[in-house]
Amino acid sequence: MPLTAPDYALHFTPGHSFAYESGQTGVLSLAPVGELSLPTGRVVACDPFVYLGSGDIAPFTTQVPPGRYRVEAAIATLARPGEAPAASPHTRVAAARLVIRDVPAVTWELALQDGQDVARLGDDEFFGYGVDAGTGCFYDASADGSFPGTEDEEGPVWAAMETVGDGPEVFLATGPDGGTLAGFTSGWGDGVYPTWVGRDEAGEVTCFLTDFFVVPPADGAPA
């Protein structure tokens, strides 16, 4: 059976806590990333420092009405038992979501690209995007060419990332043509991460959510 989604409502419940087998604990909070423009409603998720502008990443098959939608990140603040509070807490982006409708999701499905079929997946397998520069993002398919210079470590995306100081590493970049990109660091770093589509009771899309596997799987039952 392919990977199933946990209860992502807990990821985005401020104050929700979890623990690792090592005894390390985490407490979740929310960080606003910004408002993302989706002029076509075709959503792309990828590592922007590797794939942005390459033409190698297709949008998801699930489309939403064009508009402007908020993006927020679930931030895990981690601590070890008996550890004194740090001046700069250890934080990780646990998940990021693009909110389409501000209502609870009751079902979750993997966000797919053309040609992907969940029937081909084995036990605990999933489709996701690869991260090789420790960063993920959301943007509209029409904005793929809106951020020149990214591959050369310059341009709006790098400038936005460099403004991030202590605390949650999230940012919103705006290209010279007005295209926007919502970015965030990817949990523990490089890897492959799934994006899920949440739907409400009527089957309408509520959000796109990328899970960076910071919250232990046992902390939430499958949806």
DSSP SS3 for 134: coil
pTM for the model stands at 0.93
The yes-or-no verdict on residue 1 having pLDDT over 90 is: no
The yes-or-no verdict on residue 220 having pLDDT over 60 is: no
Per-residue pLDDT tens over the stretch 145-181? 999 888 777 889 988 888 876 656 999 999 999 999 9
Element counts in the chain: helices (H) and strands (E): 3, 12
- Beta-strand pair 135-140/170-174: unpaired
Mean pLDDT of 72-94: 88
CA distance 144 to 82: 47
Per-residue pLDDT tens over the stretch 117-128? 999 999 999 999
Q: DSSP letters of 157-217?
A: HHHHHHT--SS--EEEEE-TTS-EEEEEE-TTSSEEEEEEEEE-TTS-EEEEEEE-S-S-G
Report domain extents, the chain.
8-219
DSSP SS3 for 12: coil
Percent of the chain with pLDDT over 70: 96
Mean pLDDT of 54-79: 96
Which residue did the predictor score with more confidence, 55 or 116?
116
